[in-house]
Each structure stands twice: as C-alpha cells, then as structure tokens.
C-alpha cells in the first residue's frame, strides 16, 4: 500500500539578483530552475550533483528557510502559501534539517541534554522530568548512552555529534527530514553506521527523507529515488536501481563513472567531459551541459532540453536515444 504524498514540489525556482559592480549590469543567478518531485512517508529522495548544482538551494526551499521565486510546495496536499500565521510553527516543526557539520550546528555552550530538550521546552507542555525522560529515550534510539546527556558537544566524536544532531531533529516529531551532506564530514569507518541509523529511524518513525549528497556511493545505499541536478536544473530522475544500473544522461554517467567502486572488476564506460563548469551567471545556450558533453550536437546548442520519459525514468537530453538506447 502506497502512502499519500507528504511533500510535493512543483516547478520550483529560486533566482537571485547579483550586483556585478558599477560598470556592469546586474545579473540573474538561476540557482534553482524548474524542479518537481513527490515525496511519500517512509521514502528517501536523493538530490545529487556537483558543487553549485542547486542542491542546498533546494534544501532551503523545502525547509521553508527561503521563499521560491516561482513554483509551489505542497505539504500533505496543501500549498504552504495557504497556511496562516498560526499554522506556520507546526509546519516548520514538521520539516527538520540535519546539517553537514554537526559541531557547527550544535551550541557548544549547552549540554547535549539541554540541546535536545530545548524543542520540547519551547513547543510542549511537558515538565522538566518528562522532558529529561524524552531526551534520554531519544539518545538511546540514536545509539548514545543517556548518562552522557550532561556532556558538551566537544566531548563527543564526529559520528556521535551527528547522532546528536539527528536526535535533535527528531525531538520535534517531524514528518520530513532534510539531510544536507550529513555524512561527508565523517570518517569512512563511521559513515555506514550513521546511514544505517538513519534508515532504522526512517522506518521506525515513518519519516520521509530528502538526502542531499555529492557522494553517489552513499546515495546508492540509502535512496529510493534520485534527482540529478546540473546548474540548477534536473537532468535525470529515476529509481535508484535504474539510475545506477543504466544511467542515461551523459552527466549522470560522468558522476557514476567518477564514483570509487569496491569491485574494480565492474568497470563502467567512462564519459570524459570537455572544458570547465560554466558560470551560473552566464550558462550556455540550449543544454547547459553541452560544452562538457562528448555527445553534444547542434540541437543541444539551439534548444534547451526538458525532462521527458525515457526507459523508466525522466531525462533532459536531446540525444538520449542515441547515447543510452
């Protein structure tokens, strides 16, 4: 039985006006330009791409930190613009974020118990004893001993601090967790532990995850569906198995070919890019990836490709039938 969508993004865009100096006209930076997806409870949507692709901008739209320039966000089938002022606190509590740097996101002057108890102190009527019990219970769920609640963040390892950050996000009883590169700052030896913890918590609390990462080896393990972004636009959307087994867009193939593999016998065809990543302030005409793409043709220069169905996924590529067909 499929759950009803908890979050829908419809053609989201976020543009910034950039002042380039007295003698140059302001430019428009299209950090995000036409992203749509549907997210259901118990599922993980991964958003991947190189630095500057728009991943973190998308995270800020989903978590309501920024307002999109255009497009719509629906929460449980209802546009977020329709929520009145009294409903916004509960809406924001329903969508929590886990950041890349757990140490930077935790107040170093507060104990772990105080950090985890703060959302309850602000948003609930629980007394001090009940809050303490709730904090200890959550610490146990993320694999930390409750008796450590009196310690400060600097007294924990990086992996433990990320567990604390995950616990803090869950203290508000959210329905969606947006994780922005949550394991990239961790040692390889503890990444799998944190990812396994996140999967267990997703299943236990029936959460929906938006998992933002440049590390496709992690994405393959945690995601159900993947969106590949390039200069703010989606170039491929597919189920995780489809994307990794038969990548269709040249950029997706480049990302996967560049991902280290434990099994060196399973080598993929490498897609060698040309040139440098273009400036987002002046992207190429037509397909933004064409100046790096070994398969680019005249049509790629003249016309911007839109997402369209192809082999059980959506791809924005004029020549996908020739490349991957």
Residue-by-residue DSSP string for 162-200 = HHHHHHHHHTT--SEEEEESTTTTS-HHHHHHHHHHHHH
25-55 pLDDT, tens digit per residue, is 888 899 999 999 999 999 999 999 998 899 9
201-258 pLDDT, tens digit per residue, is 999 999 999 999 988 989 999 999 999 999 999 999 999 999 999 999 999 999 998 8
Evaluate whether residue 313 is within a structural domain: yes
DSSP strand pairing (27-39 vs 7-18): antiparallel
Q: Give how many domains the chain has, as a whole number.
A: 1
- Closest Cα partner for 248 from 304, 152, 325, 137? 325
Evaluate whether residue 90 is within a structural domain: no
Taking residue 40's Cβ as centre, other Cβ atoms within 10 Å add up to 17
Radius of gyration of the chain (CA): 21
Are 47 and 248 contacting, i.e. CB atoms less than 8 angstroms apart? no
Evaluate whether residue 314 is within a structural domain: yes
Check whether 1 has a pLDDT greater than 60: no
- Closest Cα partner for 207 from 1, 7, 63? 7
Give the model's pLDDT for residue 265.
43
Single pTM value for the model? 0.91
Evaluate whether residue 114 is within a structural domain: no
Q: DSSP state, 65?
A: S
Check whether 264 has a pLDDT greater than 60: no
* C-alpha to C-alpha distances, 297 to 47, 300, 318, nearest whole angstrom: 27, 5, 9
Evaluate whether residue 317 is within a structural domain: yes
Distance in Å from the first CA to the final CA of the chain: 33
Evaluate whether residue 29 is within a structural domain: no
Q: Which residue has the tokens 């004893």?
A: 129
Give the model's pLDDT for residue 263.
52
Query: What is the C-alpha separation between 225 and 210, in angstroms, rounded?
Result: 10
Are 108 and 151 contacting, i.e. CB atoms less than 8 angstroms apart? no
Confidence band for 267, pLDDT divided at 50, 70 and 90: very low
- Closest Cα partner for 34 from 235, 318, 292, 302? 235
Evaluate whether residue 272 is within a structural domain: yes
297: domain range?
A: 249-325
């Amino acid at each position: 039985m499929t759950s009803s969508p908890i979050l829908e993004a419809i053609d989201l865009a976020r543009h910034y006006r950039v002042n380039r100096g007295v003698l140059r006209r302001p430019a428009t930076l299209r950090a995000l330009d036409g992203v749509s997806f549907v997210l259901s409870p118990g599922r993980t949507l991964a958003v991947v791409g190189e630095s500057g692709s728009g991943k973190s901008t998308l995270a800020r739209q989903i978590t309501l930190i920024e307002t999109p320039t255009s497009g719509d966000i629906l929460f449980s089938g209802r546009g977020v613009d329709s929520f009145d002022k009294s409903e916004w606190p509960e809406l924001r509590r329903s969508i929590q974020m886990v950041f890349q740097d757990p140490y930077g996101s935790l107040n170093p002057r507060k104990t772990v118990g105080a950090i985890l108890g703060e959302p309850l102190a602000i948003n609930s009527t629980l007394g001090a004893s009940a809050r303490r019990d709730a904090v200890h219970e959550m610490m146990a769920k993320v694999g930390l001993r409750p008796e450590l609640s009196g310690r400060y963040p600097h007294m924990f390892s990086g992996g433990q601090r990320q567990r604390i950050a995950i616990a803090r996000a869950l203290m508000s009883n959210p329905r969606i967790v947006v994780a922005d590169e949550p394991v990239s700052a961790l040692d390889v030896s503890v990444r799998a532990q944190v990812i396994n913890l996140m999967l267990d918590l997703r299943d236990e609390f029936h959460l929906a995850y938006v998992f933002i990462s440049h590390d496709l080896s992690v994405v393959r393990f945690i995601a159900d569906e993947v969106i590949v972004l390039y200069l703010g636009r989606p170039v491929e959307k597919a189920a995780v198995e489809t994307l990794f087994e038969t990548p269709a867009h040249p950029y997706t193939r480049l990302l996967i070919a560049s991902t280290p593999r434990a099994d060196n016998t399973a080598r993929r065809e490498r897609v060698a890019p040309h040139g440098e990543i273009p400036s987002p302030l002046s992207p190429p005409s037509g397909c933004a990836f064409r100046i790096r793409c070994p398969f680019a043709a005249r049509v790629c220069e003249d016309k911007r490709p839109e997402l369209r169905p192809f082999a059980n996924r959506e791809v924005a590529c004029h020549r996908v039938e020739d490349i991957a067909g």
